Amino acid sequence: LTVPLLICEFYLILAAATNVAGSLFKKLLVGSLVMLVFGYMGEAGIMAAWPAFIIGCLAWVYMIYELWAGEGKSACNTASPAVQSAYNTMMYIIIF
């Protein structure tokens, strides 16, 4: 639960420091919901664990792509050096 919420915080941090499209938040929210719902479905036995795990991982990869190379990164590039440093640090925490 913490990783999807942290990923949505990326949008809030960027929005506080620079102009960010609302579509980024929508993409991150949808990715987070897909990750959480399929994680729950796999844990609860509603669907087979492996397909649920794979779908959840694909949602995570999609969110990481949006932040690392998509709209998130382009918005970060227009922010101050301090915001860029914080953004990159948070990215490394989520990935590693």
Model confidence pLDDT, tens digit, residues 14-71 = 888 888 888 888 998 899 999 999 999 999 999 999 999 999 999 999 999 988 888 8
Fold of 2-95: Rhopdopsin 7-helix transmembrane proteins (1.20.1070)
Write down the H helix ranges in the chain: 2-17, 22-44, 49-68, 71-76, 81-95
Q: Does position 5 have pLDDT exceeding 80, yes or no?
A: no
**Residue 69 to residues 38, 52, 76, 77, Cα–Cα distance (Å):** 25, 25, 10, 11
Q: Does position 4 have pLDDT exceeding 80, yes or no?
A: no
Task: Estimate the crossing angle of helix 49-68 against helix 81-95, to 10 degrees.
Answer: 160
Domain ranges for the chain: 2-95
Contact call for residues 10 and 67 (beta carbons, < 8 A) = yes
pLDDT at 84 (0 to 100): 87
pLDDT at 1 (0 to 100): 58
Sequence length of the chain is: 96
pLDDT at 16 (0 to 100): 83
3-class state of residue 12 by DSSP: helix
Distance between CA atoms of residues 45 and 6, nearest Å:
26
